């Protein structure tokens, strides 16, 4: 996995079907370092996912790096309503506190899938102190109608990284079962 992650840094990946926006090299380096710290937890090493909550929700900011195919797919992703109180599309606050309805930052490992209120969903295990209550808070990746492409500004979740329904159905099976997810945001706001 380290060799493949190093390939990411040297630009060996081409944009995928999701769009032209790519994570910057510094963010990839940060995600790579985090993945190396948690390598023993990673069972599905084909994919590395990055969510950049520093970007507005109106643009793709979920980056799926397919380490086998050497491609990057990008998607829009919602953040928690508590992270964006004025609903301007920017996540400004983050928390690991139950019922905060805020998104949490840090490293995650994906778990199993299940059919929930929002359809196909994916459990997340938070690995850092900033997100280690993810399971207790029921923070999962799921589909949501409020992230559909026809909405200029996606709605907000209760803290979950929510995707368009069709994207969730496509993406969740790929990243389930122990892949690494890294979420960043502006922590100082």
11-48: per-residue pLDDT in tens? 544 444 444 578 988 999 999 899 999 999 999 999 99
Residue 115 maps to a domain: yes
Could you tell me the residue range of the domain that residue 103 belongs to?
2-184
| Coil vs helix vs strand at 35 | helix
Radius of gyration (Cα) for the chain, nearest Å? 15
pTM: 0.89
- pLDDT tens digits, 150-164: 887 888 999 999 999
Average pLDDT of the segment spanning 60-66: 97
What secondary structure letter does DSSP report for 178? T
> What span, in angstroms and rounded, lies between the C-alpha atoms of 168 and 100?
24
* Least trusted range by pLDDT, from 9-13, 37-41, 53-57, 78-82: 9-13
Sign of CA dihedral 71, 76, 77, 82: positive
> What span, in angstroms and rounded, lies between the C-alpha atoms of 34 and 145?
31
Q: How many domains does the chain have?
A: 1
> What span, in angstroms and rounded, lies between the C-alpha atoms of 96 and 89?
20
Give the pLDDT confidence score for residue 56 in this predicted structure. 96
Residue 153 maps to a domain: yes
Residue 189 maps to a domain: no
Question: Tell me, what CATH number does 26's domain have?
Answer: 2.40.440.10
């Amino acid at each position: 996995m380290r060799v493949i992650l190093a390939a990411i840094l040297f630009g060996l990946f081409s944009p995928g079907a999701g769009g032209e926006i790519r994570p910057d090299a510094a963010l990839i380096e940060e995600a790579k370092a985090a993945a190396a710290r948690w390598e023993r937890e990673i069972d599905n090493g084909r994919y590395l996912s990055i969510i950049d909550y520093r970007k507005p929700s109106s643009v793709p900011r979920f980056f799926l790096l397919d380490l086998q195919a050497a491609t990057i797919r990008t998607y829009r992703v919602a953040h928690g309503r508590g992270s964006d109180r004025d609903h301007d599309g920017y996540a400004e606050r983050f928390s690991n506190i139950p019922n905060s309805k805020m998104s949490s930052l840090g490293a995650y490992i994906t778990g199993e899938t299940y059919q929930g209120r929002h359809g196909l969903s994916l459990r997340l295990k938070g690995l850092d102190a900033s997100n280690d209550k993810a399971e207790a808070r029921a923070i999962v990746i799921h589909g949501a109608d409020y992230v559909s492409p026809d909405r200029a500004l996606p709605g907000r979740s209760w803290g979950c990284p929510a995707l368009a329904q069709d994207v969730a159905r496509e993406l969740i099976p790929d990243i389930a079962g122990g892949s690494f997810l890294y979420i960043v945001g502006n922590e100082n706001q």
